[in-house]
């Protein structure tokens, strides 16, 4: 939950969140619907891959906040909300 609160801040937080939540579906006490979790997590990974690829194309700048906000943050927030619904 702590990671989720900060996951949409920037591309680095998002990438960390996606990596650290990859196998949470295996915890049946936390995730009651593993199939739904995996499908939704796959969407998180797509956003992650697209954002990291674009960040890489831009030369891996230290400050990529504007691009994240304009291109990915809103979608990330929607996915986070849906993911949190699965566990609450």
Tell whether 1 is covered by a domain.
no
**Cα–Cα dist 73/88, whole Å:** 22
Per-residue pLDDT of 16-35, as tens digits, reads: 999 998 888 888 888 889 89
Give me the number of domains the chain comprises: 1
Q: Which range marks the domain in which residue 18 is found?
A: 9-87
Tell whether 2 is covered by a domain.
no
Query: What integer pLDDT is reported at residue 1 of this predicted model?
Result: 78
How many other β-carbons are positioned within 10 Å of the β-carbon of residue 69? Answer: 13
Mean predicted confidence (pLDDT) in 58-80: 96
Instruction: With cut-offs at 50, 70 and 90, classify the pLDDT of residue 12.
Output: very high
Per-residue pLDDT of 33-63, as tens digits, reads: 989 989 999 999 999 999 999 999 999 999 9
Global confidence as pTM: 0.89
Kindly list the distances between the CA atom of residue 48 and the CA atoms of 12, 29, 76, 88, in Å, as whole numbers in the listed order. 9, 26, 9, 23
Tell whether 53 is covered by a domain.
yes
């Amino acid at each position: 939950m702590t990671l989720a609160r900060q996951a949409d801040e920037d591309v680095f937080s998002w990438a960390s969140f996606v990596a650290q939540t990859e196998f949470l579906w295996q915890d049946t006490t936390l995730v009651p619907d593993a199939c739904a979790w995996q499908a939704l997590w796959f969407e998180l990974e797509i956003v992650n891959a697209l954002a990291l690829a674009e960040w890489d194309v831009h030369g891996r700048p230290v400050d990529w906040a504007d691009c994240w906000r304009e291109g990915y943050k809103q979608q990330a927030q929607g996915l986070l909300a849906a993911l949190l619904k699965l566990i609450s």
